[in-house]
């Protein structure tokens, strides 16, 4: 019986919704496929602080979830970094069993990013997708350097929250679905707000196979 844990690392306020969209849409699609799933946000990490690292969790299982009262993912099979500089800051690989997948939103190549990953031998593949460019995101792509100055990112969030994955979450979901098969593309695609970015990402992924034997 397969059981998969997905942890999304994102930044407080400015990319909070992107992380939430990823876990929610994947958990919802898994249920549509008849699996048991669960998604939740983190309240320990202080997501109300700009740029503060924040985690979102998702679990998908073909049997009843035994640990649904556990809050953190102890052994994430899939880790997603919504913002690329997080690759340097935390031990997001903690607890990952061999054969895992790391997905990063970055304009750099996987060959470059691998140097920052702690314990990369546990990875089956490192996936880099330039989600900010594919989704044409003004802050994350054109003005990344001004992220720290951005104090208004929740502006428009109420309108945006009606749609699932209206921007950079769409390419990231595409990357997860294509490289791990956690849910089927046909199930999740109708939910995505920004379909064009989703489809573009399916073409423009950069995958670095690392230790596929362990998978």
Partner 1 sequence: MSTKGTRIPDWLTVPFAGITPAPSQEKGQDLFPTGNWRAIRPVYRDKMPPCNNACGTNEKIQGYLDLVKRGKYLDAYALIKEDMPFPSVTGRVCYHPCEQACNRGQYDEAISIRAVERFLGDLGQTLARDVVKAGPPNGKKVAVVGSGPAGHSAAYQLARLGYQVTILEKSPKAGGLNRGGIPDWVLPQHVLDREIERLVQLGVTIKTNVEVGKDVTWDELKKNYDACVLAVGLTEPNSVRAEGENKDGVIYGLPFLRDIGMGTSKVELGPRVAIIGGGNTAIDCAREALRQGAVEVAMITVEAHPQEMPCVPEDLHDMLEEGVELMHGRAMTAVLGNGKVEALQLFPARFSGAINASPIIVNREVPAERFAVDNVIIAVGQHASLGWLPAEFKTERGAIKVDQFGRIGNTNFFAAGDVVQLGSGQPLMVVNAVGDGKRVAFNLDKMLRGEPLQPRKVPVDVIVDLNRMNMTYFPHFPRIKQAMLTPASRRRTQQEVILGYSEEQASDEASRCFSCGTCNACDNCYLVCPEPCIVRSARSNGLYKILVDYCKGCRVCIEECPTGCLEGVPELDFDTGVVRMDTAFAITPGLHGRQAQELENFANRPAKQI
Instruction: Draw the binding track, 41-80, toward partner 1 (x: CB under 8 A; -: no contact).
Output: ---xxx--x-xxx-x----------xx-xxxx-x------
Taking the complex as a whole, the smallest distance from the CB of residue 191 to partner 1 amounts, in Å, to 28
Distance CA 29, CA 25 (A): 6
**126 bridge partner residues:** 102, 208
**208 bridge partner residues:** 126
By the rule CB under 8 A, 108 interacts with partner 1: yes
Q: 189: closest CA among 17, 5, 32?
A: 32
Hey, which residues between 144 and 203 contact partner 1 (CB under 8 A)?
144-149
Considering the complex, state which of residue 29 and residue 101 has its C-beta at the smaller distance from partner 1: 101
Q: How many CB atoms lie within 10 A of CB 160?
A: 15
Taking the complex as a whole, the smallest distance from the CB of residue 60 to partner 1 amounts, in Å, to 18
Distance CA 63, CA 3 (A): 8
Considering the complex, state which of residue 67 and residue 161 has its C-beta at the smaller distance from partner 1: 67
Q: What sign does the CA torsion over 176, 180, 185, 190 have? A: negative
Considering the complex, state which of residue 12 and residue 164 has its C-beta at the smaller distance from partner 1: 12
By the rule CB under 8 A, 127 interacts with partner 1: no
By the rule CB under 8 A, 142 interacts with partner 1: no
How many residues belong to the site for partner 1 (CB under 8 A)?
A: 40
Taking the complex as a whole, the smallest distance from the CB of residue 110 to partner 1 amounts, in Å, to 13
Q: How many CB atoms lie within 10 A of CB 63?
A: 10
Considering the complex, state which of residue 144 and residue 202 has its C-beta at the smaller distance from partner 1: 144
By the rule CB under 8 A, 121 interacts with partner 1: no
Considering the complex, state which of residue 86 and residue 191 has its C-beta at the smaller distance from partner 1: 86
Distance CA 78, CA 97 (A): 10
Taking the complex as a whole, the smallest distance from the CB of residue 25 to partner 1 amounts, in Å, to 23
- Give the residues lining the site for partner 1 (CB under 8 A): 11, 44-46, 49, 51-53, 55, 66-67, 69-72, 74, 83-92, 94, 106, 108, 112-113, 115-116, 118, 144-149
């Amino acid at each position: 019986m397969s059981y998969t844990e997905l942890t999304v690392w994102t930044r407080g306020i400015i990319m909070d919704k992107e992380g939430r969209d990823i876990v929610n849409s994947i958990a919802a699609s898994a249920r549509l496929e008849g699996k048991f799933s669960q998604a939740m946000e983190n309240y320990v990490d202080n997501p109300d602080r700009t740029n503060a690292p924040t985690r979102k969790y998702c679990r998908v299982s073909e049997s009843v979830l035994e640990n649904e009262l556990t809050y953190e993912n102890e052994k994430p099979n899939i880790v997603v970094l919504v913002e690329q500089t997080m690759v340097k800051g935390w031990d997001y690989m903690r607890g990952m069993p061999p054969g895992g997948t790391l997905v990063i939103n970055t304009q750099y190549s996987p060959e470059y990013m691998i140097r920052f990953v702690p314990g990369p031998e546990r990875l089956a593949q490192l996936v880099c997708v330039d989600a900010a460019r594919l989704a044409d995101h003004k802050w994350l792509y054109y003005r990344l350097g001004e992220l720290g100055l951005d104090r208004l990112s929740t502006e428009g969030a109420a309108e945006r929250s009606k749609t699932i994955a209206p921007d950079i979450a769409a390419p990231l979901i595409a990357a997860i679905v294509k490289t791990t098969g956690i849910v089927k593309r046909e199930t999740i695609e109708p939910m995505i707000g920004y379909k064009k970015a989703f489809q573009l990402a399916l073409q423009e992924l950069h995958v670095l196979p690392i230790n596929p034997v362990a998978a």
